[in-house]
Amino acid sequence: MIFDCSKTLPQQYFVASRIATDWLLDSISTKAIASIAGYTHTDKSPEQIAQYVSKMSHLHDSSMSPECELKLLSVPWYKKASYRNTIAVHSHGSISFNPKFLGRDISDIINTIVHEYMHYIGFSHKGNKPSDYNLKSVPYAVGALAESWHRSISV
């Protein structure tokens, strides 16, 4: 499994992490990622990005690679001004969620998990806020694809 969900997170995070894993391992995600034109903050083509995400997801899902831990941010850390409105961050092999934003729906949580996983495997964007330019970055765009896919099957 790609994600190891801490017992301190609400149940919907366990569910969202399993769904995010299934989506990342499915060929549906590879095709969707390859279909996006004009990613920012990368010199890779959409096809190269799709193949890299697929390769890394399958590697992290195998027993040969450590899982990415999902956990809560520590209280002093999320109160820092620069992270006060941040939903989650990736750091040192884990994705940490701001306790202030835990009450979100499953599709939104899947977006965040996939977004932060894109950072985990090496993709970035500028700054902490969504902008027209950042929304085309791999973390924002692929997270949005996962959320959109989940909303379409959850109707």
Mean pLDDT of 56-69: 76
Range of the domain at 117: 3-153
CA dist., res. 12 & res. 121, Å (int): 24
Exposed e or buried b per residue across 53-84, where buried means at least 16 C-beta atoms within 10 angstroms of its C-beta: bbebbeebbeeeeebbebbbbeeeebeeeebe
Could you tell me the pTM of the whole model?
0.89
Do 142 and 115 form a contact (C-beta atoms < 8 A)? yes
Which CATH number fits the domain that encloses residue 68? 3.40.390
Q: What are phi and psi of 88, to 5 degrees?
A: -160, 160
Lateral strand order in the sheet of 88-91: 3-5, 68-72, 94-97, 88-91
Total count of domains within the chain: 1
Express each pLDDT in 123-134 by its tens digit. 988 766 666 667
CA dist., res. 86 & res. 66, Å (int): 25
Express each pLDDT in 4-52 by its tens digit. 888 889 899 999 999 999 999 999 999 999 999 989 989 999 999 999 9
